[in-house]
């Protein structure tokens, strides 16, 4: 690096006494260079210390990227894997809130940051931990933001992990670009979308981005996919309802009189359609679940509150699809489209 403190100092014909008694400024530069070197060595080791690295992306905000990133991480950890979750959303880092964690759960030792520990031993690091007042909007200039990301990658004691999941802010490609330049051996990206028709447009953006950083697409997840309702009626009778947009829907009660229906609140199938059209795998869908919103507020994640519930099962299904595709091609990683 031409602007490195070391190269500035070299070959400047400095006198002997200067070399023997470096100024404070020189000392700071040397320390900085040493820290930089240590960070580079740690980052190089991450390639083998963290088996799989997955980036969670979406074409726009509010589609549930953080919800999916957090859910995937917990679902993997629930399977007994060692998992890390890195939240680099400075504008709205809500991952700790979803997990009931805050910065007091972090520890620093020998210049390394030890992540907060969430459910099932999940290791969590979030931009939220660096922000003084979570209610104040943060405006960080580009270089500071990118420096913080490099520290998140290089100065965090992740230890040996089976998987690291990375959550990003919406609507910008700066952060994923920096991560892709510094995190070695990224397996691929998971794209989160919603069931509406615009899903195709949004997913295409993420896929094009994955191409530009030469990272494979693991697949598409459709979030807020349908809302399940249940009830009781006469055994074996028909129950009919007026669903979204006035469309009647019917369900038959079973022998005990139980019935269930799925209401497609935001249309249906945008994610699968987008995956088919863009020729990438479809990983599955997540239901619209008011418990996810509640969990985001009270810090008890839906999967933790109800490990056998519909949302937890949906996450398990998606995670199985992801781990299968990683196992199939773990030596060379997935195909770059």
Residues lying near ligand ADP in the complex (CB under 6 A): 58, 61-67, 94, 170, 223-224, 286, 288-289, 292-293, 296
Cβ atoms of 28 and 150 within 8 Å: the answer is no
Nearer to ligand ADP among residue 46 and residue 210 (C-beta) = 210
What are the tokens at 67? 């919800």
The count of residues interacting with Mg ion (CB under 5 A) is: 2
91 neighbors 168 (Cβ within 8 angstroms): no
Minimum distance, C-beta of residue 249 to ligand ADP, in the bound complex (Å): 20
Contacts of 337 (CB under 8 A, 6+ apart): 207, 210, 211, 216, 217, 279, 280
Give strand pairing partners of 252.
Answer: 238
Q: Which is nearer to ligand ADP, 170 or 309 (CB)?
A: 170
Distance (Å, rounded) from C-alpha 54 to C-alpha 217? 10
Look at the alpha carbons of 151, 154, 159, 160 in this order and tell me if their dihedral is positive or negative: positive
C-alpha to C-alpha distance for 209 and 81, rounded to whole angstroms: 29
CB neighbours (10 Å) of residue 58? 28
Residues 190, 286: contact at Cβ < 8 Å?
A: no
Which of 66, 178 has the CB closer to Mg ion?
A: 66
Nearer Cβ to ligand ADP (157/313): 313
Residue 193 CB neighbour total at 10 angstroms: 30
| Contact of residue 223 among ligand ADP, Mg ion, none (CB under 5-8 Å per partner type) | ligand ADP
Strands 238-242 and 112-114: unpaired
Residue 128 Cβ vs ligand ADP, minimum distance, rounded to whole Å:
13
Least distance CB 78 / ligand ADP (angstroms):
18
Given ligand ADP, Mg ion, none, residue 288, with its beta carbon under 5 to 8 Å by kind, binds: ligand ADP
Q: Which one, 65 or 145, has the nearer CB to Mg ion? A: 65
Closer to Mg ion at the Cβ: 96 or 115? Answer: 96
Least Å distance between CB 95 and Mg ion?
Answer: 8
Task: Give me the least distance between CB of 92 and ligand ADP, in Å please.
Answer: 7
- From the CB of 58, what's the least distance to Mg ion, in Å? 9
Q: Does 66 bind Mg ion (CB under 5 A)?
A: yes
Report 163-182 residues binding Mg ion (CB under 5 A). Answer: none
The entry of Mg ion, ligand ADP, none that residue 149 binds, CB within 5 to 8 Å by partner kind? none
* Strand pairing category for 248-252 and 238-242: antiparallel
Residue with the CB atom nearest Mg ion in the bound state:
66
Please report, as ranges, the residues that interact with Mg ion according to CB under 5 A.
65-66
């Amino acid at each position: 690096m031409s602007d490195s403190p070391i190269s500035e100092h070299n070959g400047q014909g400095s006198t002997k006494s200067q070399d023997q008694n470096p100024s404070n400024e020189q000392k700071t530069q040397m320390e900085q260079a040493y820290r930089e070197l240590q960070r580079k060595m740690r980052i190089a080791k991450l390639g083998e210390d963290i088996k799989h690295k997955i980036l969670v992306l979406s074409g726009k905000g509010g589609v549930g990227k953080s919800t999916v990133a957090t859910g995937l991480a917990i679902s993997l950890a629930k399977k007994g894997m060692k998992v890390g979750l890195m939240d680099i959303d400075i504008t709205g880092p809500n991952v700790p809130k979803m997990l009931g964690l805050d910065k007091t759960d972090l520890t620093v030792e020998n210049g390394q940051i030890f992540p907060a520990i969430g459910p099932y031993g999940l290791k969590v690091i979030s931009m939220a931990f660096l922000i003084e007042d979570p209610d104040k909007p943060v405006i960080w200039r580009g270089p500071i933001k990118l420096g913080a990301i490099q520290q998140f990658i290089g100065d965090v004691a992740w230890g040996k992990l089976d998987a690291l999941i990375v959550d990003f802010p919406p609507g910008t490609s700066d952060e994923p670009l920096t991560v892709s330049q510094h995190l070695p051996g990224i397996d691929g990206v998971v794209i989160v979308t919603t069931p509406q028709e615009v899903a195709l447009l949004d997913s295409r953006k993420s896929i094009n981005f994955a191409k530009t950083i030469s990272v494979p697409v693991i697949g598409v997840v459709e979030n807020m996919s349908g809302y399940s309702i249940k009830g009781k009626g006469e055994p074996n009778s028909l129950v009919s309802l007026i669903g979204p947009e006035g469309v009647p829907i019917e369900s038959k009660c079973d022998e005990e009189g139980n019935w269930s229906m799925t209401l497609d609140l935001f249309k249906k199938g945008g994610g699968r359609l987008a995956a088919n059209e863009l020729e990438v795998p479809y990983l599955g869908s997540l239901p619209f679940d008011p418990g996810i919103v509640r969990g985001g507020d009270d810090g008890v994640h839906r999967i933790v509150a109800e490990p056998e519930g519909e949302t937890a099962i949906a996450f398990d299904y998606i995670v199985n699809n992801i781990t299968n595709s990683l196992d199939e091609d773990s030596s060379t990683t997935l195909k770059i489209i």
